[in-house]
Amino acid sequence: MITTLIALVLAAPATLTVGSKAPPLAPFTADAWVKGEPVKELQAGNAYVVEFWATWCGPCIKGIPHLTAMQKEFPTVQFISVAASENGPKEKQLDTLKTFVADKGDAMGYRVAYDGDRVMGKSWMEAAEQGGIPCAFIVGKDGVIQWIGHPMEMDKPLAAVAAGTWDLSKAKEAATAQAKLEEASKSFSKLMRSAQKSNDYTIVLAKLQEMIKSDPTNTQLLMTKFQILAGPAKQPQEAITVGKQLLTMDLEAEELNQLAWVSATEMPKKSRDLDFSLAAAQKAVSVSKTAEPAVLDTLARVYWDRGDKAKALATQQQAVDLGMKDNTDAETLGELKETLEKYKATQGAKN
């Protein structure tokens, strides 16, 4: 599967970004402040975290303890969590929000506001071209936006802002670079759709190489190139070259597992480099630390294809055992067991 980079389609450039003056708070009525003292305006001399979320958003709910912990760690920073994307009949949204917040109690240790008309949603989220929640804005004591992103990733930026050590100029440069990359991604998406129709990936790969040249350590771009070369472009040797470059970089276990699985199972047999597949699979197991059934399953497959049947059986058994211990879903666990039985039967037949 091609990465989300290919599917990225963006709108016009953001008018609100890092370095912009923060918009005013919406004129909330008193009963729209569901928790905490109302904040009528962003005051100079105070730092703020303005987070957008919703009661139906799983990642938002998962991040509540983190926000509570950060509010305790930075008591001088005022956290305002704005529910600006509630679903259901509008006349019931506020009651739903109040019930949710009341049920959370002290676990939700910061201000919560309701933006029923989505005034702030438009002036903040839409203006910043932020299409997903949760999303947090750090506003400095000067009223300027210092950082925008996922609240689970704002620990270091917020600590620096609170300590007065945050480098806004560097943050603006990083935001500008990211915006340029996303704009390039928009163009790339169009090229990719055209290539999928024509089955000619020459222009796509040239554009991708141009993007990589401007950001050579971007693993997402390199993973996308690997997947295109290994898959629709049908250039397996070139894919392995990119894959070997990726092996030297800081990848997640899932990404390493993908390199191993694609190179071992989806490329033409005559083009496979099982030494590379083994290196990727072993690194995936190492990075995952406690390992994952899917990662062990890939490593077992590579062992099997390399002719090391004993290691394949032992590793596949580990995958099954771990899947049972971790309550892996029945379908996946069934597939792991089926593979294990195939290995046993095949080895038995050859013995």
Q: Do residues 143 and 48 touch, judged by C-beta distance below 8 A?
A: no
Q: How far apart are CA 236 and CA 221, in angstroms?
A: 17
Separation of first and last alpha carbons in the chain: 38
CA-CA-CA-CA dihedral for 124, 125, 130, 135, to nearest 10: 90
**pTM for the full predicted model:** 0.57
Phi, psi of 73 (to 5 degrees): -70, -30
Q: Do residues 13 and 183 touch, judged by C-beta distance below 8 A?
A: yes
Contacts 24+ apart (CB under 8 A), 277-281: 277/302, 277/305, 278/302, 278/303, 278/306, 279/247, 280/243, 280/247, 280/256, 281/256, 281/257
Q: Do residues 325 and 333 touch, judged by C-beta distance below 8 A?
A: no
Q: How far apart are CA 63 and CA 52, in angstroms?
A: 12
Neighbouring residues of 40: CB distance < 8 A, sequence distance ≥ 6: 25, 28
Q: Do residues 296 and 285 touch, judged by C-beta distance below 8 A?
A: yes
Q: Name the H helices within 165-252.
A: 168-198, 202-214, 219-230, 236-247
R_g (Cα) of the chain, nearest Å? 25
* Residue 212 to residues 102, 191, 203, 239, Cα–Cα distance (Å): 48, 16, 14, 15
State whether residue 105 is helix, strand or coil: helix
Q: Which amino acid is at 186?
A: K
CB-based burial label for 22 (10 Å; 0-12, 13-18, 19+): buried
Cα–Cα nearest to 109, from 84, 80, 152 = 80
HSE value, Cβ hemisphere, 13 Å, CA-based, for 302: 28
Q: Which amino acid is at 179?
A: A
Q: Which amino acid is at 140?
A: G
Q: What's 144's DSSP letter?
A: B
Neighbouring residues of 216: CB distance < 8 A, sequence distance ≥ 6: none
Q: How many CB atoms lie within 10 A of CB 153?
A: 10
Cα–Cα nearest to 134, from 53, 55, 67, 48 = 53
Q: What is the pLDDT of residue 9?
A: 33
Q: What is the pLDDT of residue 275?
A: 96
Q: Do residues 74 and 166 touch, judged by C-beta distance below 8 A?
A: no
- pLDDT digit string (tens) for the chain, length 351 residues: 343 333 333 334 468 999 999 998 765 554 589 999 988 889 999 999 999 999 999 999 999 999 999 999 999 999 999 999 999 999 999 999 999 999 999 999 999 999 988 889 999 999 998 889 999 999 999 999 999 999 999 999 999 999 999 999 999 988 888 777 777 777 788 888 898 899 999 999 998 898 899 889 999 899 999 999 999 999 999 999 999 999 999 999 999 999 999 999 999 999 899 999 999 999 999 999 877 899 999 999 999 999 999 999 999 999 999 999 888 888 999 999 999 999 999 875 554
State whether residue 146 is helix, strand or coil: strand
